[in-house]
Amino acid sequence: MEAFVKQIAGVLPCRDGYVRQLYRYYRKGDQFPPALYIYGQSSTGKGAILREVFRCRSAADESLRSAQLSAISCYTNKILFETIVRQLEGAELLQSNHYSIDCKLEYAKDFLAALRQRLDPARSYVIVVRHAERLRDMAHNLLPLFLQLPEATGLNVSVVLVSSLPFEKFYTKAGLPPVVKLFVPEYTRADMQRILMNDYAPHVQGLGGQRSAPDQLWLAAITEEFHRNYVSLFLGTFWKVCRDVKELRLVAAECFPAYCEPVRDGTIPAHDSMKLWRNITKTLRAALSTMYMRLGTKTTGSGVAPDGTAWLAQNLELPYYAKYLLIAAYLASNNAAKEDRRLFMKNHGKQRKRLQAVNARAKVTEKMTTKLGPKAFNVDRLLAIFYAILDEQVGLTCNLLAQISTLVHLKLLTYASSAEGGAGGSAMLDGSATRLQCTVGMDFILQIGRMVGFNVRQYLTDFF
299 and 317 within one domain: no
Q: Same domain for 147 and 247? A: no
Residue 235 pLDDT: 93
Domain assignment present for residue 161? The answer is yes
Same domain, 205 and 245: yes
pLDDT of residue 60: 84
Q: Is residue 106 part of a domain?
A: yes
Domain match, 355 and 292 both: no
Work out how many domains the chain is built from and give that number.
3
| Residue 71, pLDDT score | 93
Full domain range(s) for residue 128: 1-183
Asked whether residue 265 falls in the same domain as residue 335, the answer is: no
Residues 318 and 292 in one domain: no
Backbone φ and ψ of 181, nearest 5°: -110, 145
Asked whether the whole model's pTM tops 0.75, one would answer no
Final residue before a domain boundary, out of 183, 201, 226: 183
Q: Could you tell me if residue 464 is inside a domain?
A: no
State which residues of the chain have pLDDT below 70. 97-99, 208-216, 293-315, 346-371, 417-433, 463-464
The verdict on residue 378 lying in a domain is yes
Q: Note the pLDDT of residue 308.
A: 52
Please give the mean pLDDT across all residues of the chain: 83
- Tell me if 423 is assigned to some domain: yes
Looking at residue 312, its pLDDT comes to 65
CATH number for the domain including 116?
3.40.50.300
